[in-house]
Structure 1
Amino acid sequence: MSVLLTYGYSVYLVYFSFEQILSNFVPVDHYVFLAEGTKASSAASKVVTSANTKPSKAAKSSSQKNDGSQVAASEKKGGDRAPEKDRKKDAPHPRMQYDDKSRVEKAKKRAVVKQTEARNRVELFRHLPQYEHGTQLPDLETKFFELDPMHPAVYKVGLQYLSGDIRGGNARCIAMFQAFKEAIKDYSTPPEKTLIRDLTARISSYVSFLIECRPLSISMGNAIKFLKNRIAKLPLALSESEAKSTLMLDIDRFINEKIILSEKVIVKHAVTKIRDGDVLLTYGASSVVEMILLHAHELGKHFHVVVVDSRPKLEGQLLLRRLVRKGLSCTYTHVNAVSCIMQDVTRVFLGASSVLSNGTVYSRVGTACVAMVAHAFHVPVLVCCEAYKFHERVQLDSICFNELGNPDAISKVQGRKEINYLDGLVNQENLQLLNLIYDATPSDYVSMIITDYGMIPPTSVPVIVREYRRDHLWS
């Protein structure tokens, strides 16, 4: 008789006869567990043969001891658990869950920016950080001379993140890398320490400070991973000045090749999709989409642009102003009217904060709404995104990972006090304000993704992720 057993990720066969069960009961852990493969088949034949020949009790006990010792040795060596350990190493580091009170209290003790948690938080998003706005910036400004290990350039970028002066994935990533470049330039290895380990720890402390000012975007996480990888692979024979020069060159090369040149390549590809007489719709204010529209206008193509915007940031107004100044024909509307104007649109160009491995587009909240309406009207949706923003993560919703903005931004309208009906009600216990920053657009609503590697369908995103990892800048 044979029984199929599973242990962890492995499958095993247990061979025994009914005569053995009836004559002499043997514990389960003393049976012979055989793995798949050629060795398993040969060992199985030996066990069946020995069972048919009815060996003596002494032979049985010795064989059972040997089998038990083999199983114990295999458990000690952890041969079956090695693949699981490898998977744990490859798995991304777990993100901070802000509904875990013990972990939150520990994080508060290490925090540089003292922040007060929002009282009326939406229960579904309690795992995301949300603080009272308006108190962090003055408190951080008073602690400038108390932050000894913090480099002034990193401190300045953190203040700009906190105040909202720097927006956009590319702008935030470039500002962060330039601050790191200044920090590396002024860095000196402490005595009795190595540059690789100490500088990595220093960069990690800078990253923690920036996260306290504002959560990192996915593209910034990829850039930080690249920098730490370059630090870890520095040759030990290099002097400190040579190592610092190498790292600063790597940072400049990353900014030039992965951001600036990538945008130019995307523009070159995307312009081929614009024809005379097109009505192009865009949402929010994407720097890459703006470059595409301006370059197509410079080439002499005649088209009309529809800028769709939404509160509270109203970033589309800035894009609209720049396009009108360049002489482009534009229409401005809000996202609540997108279904009315979509019937006249021929193509939709959208930016992205990131593109995930399953083809999901992670972008400014409202992007999914625009893409779904375009799909309903059979309008092609073209997403423009640099390859360094691609990530191997798979995300099916906007709940597990997101960023919460200032709730006061949606409860008040600047310059319109007569319609601020929520004044005095924001702190009510039965009122919860939710201001999401990003949303996830399923790949079914995306026609094409334009990257610096070319124009691809959403199903080919894993290929880009793999090729990007093989890039010499990454590996």
Structure 2
Amino acid sequence: MVSWEVMWEAEKGEGTALEVKNEAIPSSKPLKVKTTKSERRALQESQRAAKAAAKAEGNKSIAAASGRVTSVKAAKQPSQKKDVASAAPSVAASEKKGSDRAPEKDRKKDAPPPRMQFDDKSRVEKAKRRAVVNQTEARNRVELFRHLPQYEQGTQGPDLESKIFQLKPMHPAVYKVGLQFLAGDISGGNARCIAMLQAFQKAIKDYITPPEKNLNRDLTAKISSYVSFFTECRPLSISMGNAIRFIKNRIAKLPLSLSESEAKALLCSDIDRFINEKIIVADQVIVRHATTKIRDGDVLLTYGASCIVEMILLYAHEIGKQFRVVVIDSRPRLEGQSLLRRLIAKGLSCTYTHINAVSYIMHEVTGVFLGASSVFSNGTVYSRVGNASVAMVANAFRVPVIICCEAYKFHERVQLDSICFNELGDPDAILKVPGRMDVNYLDNLQNKENLQLLNLMYDATPSEYVSMIVTDYGMIPPTSVPVIVREYRREQLLM
């Protein structure tokens, strides 16, 4: 039984902050005091506010809250109810805000940075003022792809070579690799990624921490400036972006107790380990898996020049399997010609044709092996333009399409087309035939205002046209790509 004092304080909405005196009431039945709905609601809100304050502030806040309540006993009842009613939602909102703050911050870190939209004139002008590579924009671009950068190639090579030793913030090794990207001397996903990582490695070895600066922050800023320069020379590939994320993650996790020389040695060893495990050893594992799908008498078709597909074909030939290779090629790069020369030199039986004849030769093909620049989370394969056409023709002929791709090229992005994200090549490359001046009929048309030139570098192959993806984690269907993305990211966090 409670006393009259407790009931009176509860009627005012203060019963939770007072001590309960166990005094018996001289009656056989407990006394019930009628309260209005608003009073009961105020009592409930005051109890919730007290529980929330006790949970958030601990014992000190509880003692302070009880002192405040006892000090305002003489205040009027309406103001007490108003204060209690406003306290509960504010405490609840602060609790909710505090609980969601950390996960939201982590989600922002995981989200990829917004890509530069080159149809935004104000942002483009700001980027030009900060840029080291002042390339000349191509004229008469296709309106649908105006958000992508497109420049006239070969306009900044000599000028940049004279600036290598004048601009001090940039390392010479980074400049050299950037110029090779700009001139097209280094192409291919693995080759570009390895060249970038080796340039970073040389820059880290020569790095000296400025006075009164932290190595982790200053070196991260240096890497970001190098990445900006590489992006100006040529847009980064997905594999390069994943490698940059790995390096920055390793820099951020460097123990503060390490000396500068120890930290630089650890970073250089991490870069070597990344190149060895994620590229070299991964390619060897993919070759072992993919050769199990080659049988004697097969006719294998490939498109362009993929280094991993070339390794698979050469290894299958070395272990004694009898098969024939069909190399499909296309302008303007004609990468299949170099692949064809290397395969013939090793003694493989080959057939060479252009992509316009793929439907005529597909009826005798038993399997299609294609490389990839990246594989997205929804199973879409992002690769050299023309891969999607070859895969769709193979699917129409019921020929299995096998994609060979390292796990470090996988990305959590979801992409449905090749318009929003792509790379535009040199527009003059589709007008001129190298080495054939007698057939360059369009050579004098690049300055015509009513002619728009489009040289797409990549396309997106939907997952329904892919039979299997061979990775260093094993052979998987396109629907299992999110599993590889999750496992790869978990492995990177544990390294």
- Same-fold status (TM-score > 0.5): yes
TM-superposed CA distance for 1:133, in Å, is 2.0
Identity %: 76
Q: Is the CA contact 2:246–2:492 (under 8 Å) kept in the aligned structure 1?
A: no
Alpha-carbon contact 1:305-1:329 (below 8 Å) kept: yes
In the TM superposition, 1:321-360 aligns within 5 A as 321-360=341-380
2:267 and 2:89 mapped to 1: Cα distance?
Answer: 50
Deviation at 1:409, TM superposition (A): 0.3
Give aligned pairs, total: 422
Structure 1 residue 297: Cα displacement = 0.3
Which of these residues, 62, 73, 89, is aligned with residue 71 of structure 1? 89
Q: Does the CA-based 8 Å contact 2:138-2:427 persist in structure 1?
A: no
Maintained 8 Å contact 2:369/2:403: yes
Deviations 1:226-267 (A, max 9, x none): 011001101111111111110110000000110000000000
- Is residue 2:218 matched to residue 1:203? no
Within-5 A mapping of 1:73-88: 73-75=91-93, 79=97, 82=101, 86-88=106-108
1:275 pairs with 2:295: yes
1:141 Cα deviation from its structure 2 partner: 1.6
Structure 1 residue 72, shift from structure 2 partner? 4.4
Give SS of 2:484's match. helix
Summarize the alignment of residues 33-432 of structure 1 with structure 2, pairs less than 5 Å apart: 63=81, 66-75=84-93, 79=97, 82=101, 86-432=106-452
Structure 2 unaligned spans of 5+: 1-44, 46-51, 53-75
Q: Gaps spanning 5+ residues in structure 1: where?
A: 1-31, 33-38, 40-57
Classify 1:76/1:278 alpha carbon distance in 2 versus 1 (closer, same or farther; 3 Å). same
Asked whether the 8 Å contact 1:210–1:216 carries over to 2, the reply is: yes
In the alignment, is the contact (CA less than 8 A) between 2:418 and 2:460 conserved in 1? yes
Distance 1:394 1:275, change over 3 A: same
Work out whether residues 359 and 459 of structure 1, in 8 Å CA contact, stay in contact via their aligned partners in 2: yes
Q: Return the alpha-carbon distance in structure 2 between the equivalents of residues 233 and 89 of structure 1.
A: 15
Q: CA deviation at 1:469?
A: 1.2
Contact 1:115–1:132 (8 Å) recurs in 2: yes
Distance 1:328 1:87 in 2: 50
Distance 1:180 1:362 in 2: 26
**Partner SS for 1:145:** coil
Q: Choose from 455, 464, 467 the match for 1:435.
A: 455
What do residues 311-345 of structure 1 show as CA deviations (whole Å, max 9, x unaligned)? 00000000000000000000001111101101100
Post-superposition offset of 1:126? 1.1
**In 2, Cα distance between the equivalents of 1:402 and 1:369?**
17
For residue 70 of structure 1, what is the amino acid of its counterpart?
Answer: A
CA root-mean-square deviation = 2.1
Aligned to 2:30: none
Question: Which deviations, in whole Å up to 9, do the C-alpha atoms of 1:288-311 show, x marking residues without a partner?
Answer: 000000000001110000000000
Matched residue SS, 1:440: strand
The answer to whether the 8 Å contact 1:226/1:474 transfers is: no
Q: 2 CA distance for matches of 1:260 and 1:448?
A: 21
Q: Which residue of 2 aligns with 1:466?
A: 486
The secondary structure found in structure 2 opposite 1:308 is: strand
Q: Distance in 1 between matches of 2:96 and 2:129?
A: 38
Cross-structure match for 2:475: 455
Instruction: State how far apart, in whole Å, the 2-side matches of 1:386 and 1:96 are.
Output: 27
Structure 2 SS opposite 1:350: strand
Structure 1 residue identity aligned to 2:484: I
1:97 partner SS:
coil
Does structure 2 conserve the Cα–Cα contact (< 8 Å) formed by 1:381 and 1:448? yes
| TM-superposed deviation, 1:417 | 2.2
Contact 1:382/1:447 (CA < 8 Å) preserved in 2? yes
| 1:143, distance to aligned residue in structure 2 (A) | 1.5
**TM-score of the two chains, using structure 1 as the length reference:** 0.85
> In structure 1, what is the Cα distance between the partners aligned to 2:395 and 2:250?
42
Q: Deviations over 1:425-471 (max 9, x none)?
A: 11111111000100000000000000000000001111111111121
Kindly indicate whether the alpha-carbon contact (under 8 Å) linking 2:154 and 2:183 is maintained by their aligned counterparts in 1: no
